[in-house]
Chains A and B, each alone.
Chain A
């Protein structure tokens, strides 16, 4: 199959970016989207041209490294997957695809499609953990966690930190990412001790990084490859208000 690719090219964080168009022929339907970019890059490099820089690593949908806007949608036209899990069978012969980096104030572009998501690390560093130093843990089965609670905590913990939620939000909000960690830990008995302090610190850091506010459009949930629910945002707000009322 043949595809026309309109790809965002930007030499550096400070350079002016622009779209460049490339045409690729003899593509196979079974190829992954990133393998198509590999083919393009091999062609560019062989000609001595600069390859398209894009974030990717595990290529099985779990590391959260890859992510781009494809025809205006985070991770492309199929819901519930990351960019690396997208295959060319989702497109038609002759299609034109517009490929851009995830865009948000808190995710500056580094080069081409590669962005800086270190803001997420700083949000976690501000309080996204249980302070259980090595050696201090009690016997594992002394903390009973009912099956449904464990499953629900897992649903929140499944977030891969890709940033699709931020990229798709018209406000560039990190509410889904931040709330997923807050809820994961707040749902577990061992995470309750620090729950109030945690939510206050993490929300404060989220605001400091320049992420926008949540206005409940729920686009984040629709584009999340792991299906993380907006109910996590509700829980974050509940925990936050509780902390403000009762004191962190």
Chain B
């Protein structure tokens, strides 16, 4: 295999244009730069032939990593261990608080410890199918291949995964698969994996290879001659604007599910880093593919700020049902067995309560919309453990899910050992994100995206316990190789100068925007606008979408955005700790992302995975894919605020046969 395949020329692309759905413009097809060879050999081929940087040269090369979740912390730590100069940024007050910490259920790996027929290929196939055949084969295969290494790495770091009495690692099963490949640390797997990565990161901070910038928010990407050259960041404690130059910039800033306001995400989660990189030329892919988690707690009141997630692992032992009678107001325990509709078991007998997330969420919405919802606002379904408690005993259930039952009681005041939980779908994970090639590099040379911030591995629907995996694998095992490959011919390249004109301009633009926000002095808070945008998106670009609704949404979002720039209120000045100003910048970006989500959903005239277009469904209400016309990834180019430009990456399936995705 020729090594020149791996140089950066392969990232070049050209643009032609014609108008498509709505007023979006179609550009040219783009390539993912997938190495040649058999599917199982591609990653090894890449590693065998990729460019390297010698240990002596690594210390001359600087990498900025934005975000300290699993992808960012693992990457920054790994690059530090290798000897690069790393600058690590996070908006939180400590890297340990990034939102990976909240992932509960587990992390997948095809170790086949349960001897139940698991393999790299089977995990690859489950993930491709789970994503409704809208992910790249080569990326997904690599994800499965590297999953085994991750478990080894995490155990070595001291992550206390669940164990059998013999001392061997334990597994459980998760939605969308028929094997047990999920490793877990009670209901706090994300926390424990993140602490492992955080500790590795802090070890490098101590060693001096990583410099940590906590409470800093990236507000722009700086490019020089079309290549990433650094970032503009705001020190959130002082409001000061800083310039940071580097040879490579990596965005590991997570997803943008918080755009819906009510979501399972943390309050500070935002998309500003990836969006501002998008406006500097990085394409955004599959922007409307957003997963609604089926087992979150329902909205209870108007001031609610988030929807707490209950791990999907609960569906291993919990059975989901609604009353067979509409508007049944009896208490759940008063409804006899024969008057309960276990609708997932009824519709999907072979997967039952472990049907994948998109299908489970849509099935819940279908029942709720049809008038079978439960709870005070009739916006929930039951998740019932009474059968499991009878069969296994309360102690066993408490050991598996004790902290989740405790959490449920704290929030709702209800004891789930005695009566069923109430759950409801909530905005959760963004399969969409920055478009990246096989190397995790965006369309801007030198700008990489890792973890949920990129779009790469999950297709149109992510399987449970694959997000921790993807974030870790990107950071520990993939980006360190692909970044080295990119840097291998730049060992003599000087660090870009932070006093370059491009930095001056980027900093001036950032300051001008902040001043503009502060000077509006209107009468509405950023949060009020965020809530209104969130409601719009839930209604028009949520669990289901249709043509007219999406067109309406684009108009309404533009109107709301105009109102935002006329009526926003921010007390205090820009150069100080200013929490309202932080929110304003994030919400301003959400308007633009929301609009792109609608364009993305509008131009994809099929249903696939989490993207459900009402016009494209089977008679029994299942998603209807259109492989002839839509077997591609939509990669969007920013068009200076005009209708966006769509570039297509065709998806080639050589190792799997496209099939109707059935869990019946």
A241 within 8 A of B: no
Q: Which of B167, B206, B480 contacts A147 (CB 8 A)?
A: B167
Number of B interface residues in the complex (CB < 8 A): 82
Tell me if A's interface is mostly helix, strand, loop or mixed. loop
- Given A51-B571, A81-B410, A146-B167, the answer on whether A121 and B152 have CB atoms closer than 8 Å is no
Q: Is the CB of B77 within 8 A of A134?
A: yes
Q: Which of B151, B169, B203, B528 contacts A129 (CB 8 A)?
A: B203
B191 within 8 A of A: yes
> Beta-carbon contacts of A44-58 to B below 8 Å, as 1s and 0s?
111011110101111
Q: Is the CB of A63 within 8 A of B266?
A: yes
- Given A125-B206, A139-B152, the answer on whether A134 and B81 have CB atoms closer than 8 Å is yes
- Identify the closest chain B residue to A131 (Cβ): B203
B407 within 8 A of A: yes
Q: Is the CB of A118 within 8 A of B93?
A: yes
- Identify the closest chain A residue to B300 (Cβ): A30
Q: Within the assembled complex, what's the spacing in Å between the Cα atoms of A85 and B403?
A: 13
A201: shortest Cβ distance to chain B, in Å? 9
B15 within 8 A of A: no
B301 within 8 A of A: yes
Q: Which residues of B from 211 to 267 have beta carbons under 8 Å from A?
A: 212, 214, 237, 266-267
- Identify the closest chain B residue to A39 (Cβ): B303
A62 within 8 A of B: yes
> Beta-carbon contacts of A24-37 to B below 8 Å, as 1s and 0s?
00001011101110
Q: Which residues of B contact A56 (CB under 8 A)?
A: 267
Q: Which residues of B contact A95 (CB under 8 A)?
A: none
B326 within 8 A of A: no
Q: Is the CB of A150 within 8 A of B92?
A: no
Q: Is the CB of A64 within 8 A of B96?
A: yes
- Identify the closest chain A residue to B163 (Cβ): A150
Q: Is the CB of B569 within 8 A of A45?
A: yes
B336 within 8 A of A: no
* Stretch from B193-201, B315-323, B505-513, B609-617 that touches the partner: B193-201
Q: Within the assembled complex, what's the spacing in Å between the Cα atoms of A10 and B94?
A: 22
Q: Which residues of A contact B413 (CB under 8 A)?
A: 87, 89
Q: Which residues of A contact B416 (CB under 8 A)?
A: none
Q: Is the CB of A34 within 8 A of B156?
A: no
* Stretch from B28-36, B572-580, B642-650 that touches the partner: B572-580
Q: Which residues of A contact B160 (CB under 8 A)?
A: 145, 150-151, 153-154, 157, 184, 188
- Identify the closest chain B residue to A139 (Cβ): B152
**What 6 pairs across the A-B complex have the smallest Cβ distances?**
A144-B167, A129-B199, A137-B156, A132-B156, A137-B152, A125-B202
Residues of chain B at the chain A interface (Cβ within 8 Å): 74, 77-78, 81, 92-97, 99, 101-102, 111, 113, 149, 151-158, 160-169, 185-186, 188, 191-192, 195, 198-200, 202-203, 205-206, 212, 214, 237, 266-268, 300-301, 303-306, 308-309, 406-407, 410-411, 413, 476-477, 480, 521, 523-525, 527-528, 569-572, 577, 579-580
Interchain Cβ contacts under 8 Å between A and B, 12 examples: A35-B304, A59-B305, A59-B306, A60-B306, A121-B96, A124-B198, A134-B476, A137-B149, A143-B155, A150-B160, A153-B158, A161-B96
Contacts beyond the supplied A45-B525, A57-B97: 5 A-B pairs with Cβ under 8 Å: A87-B413, A120-B94, A125-B202, A126-B206, A190-B158
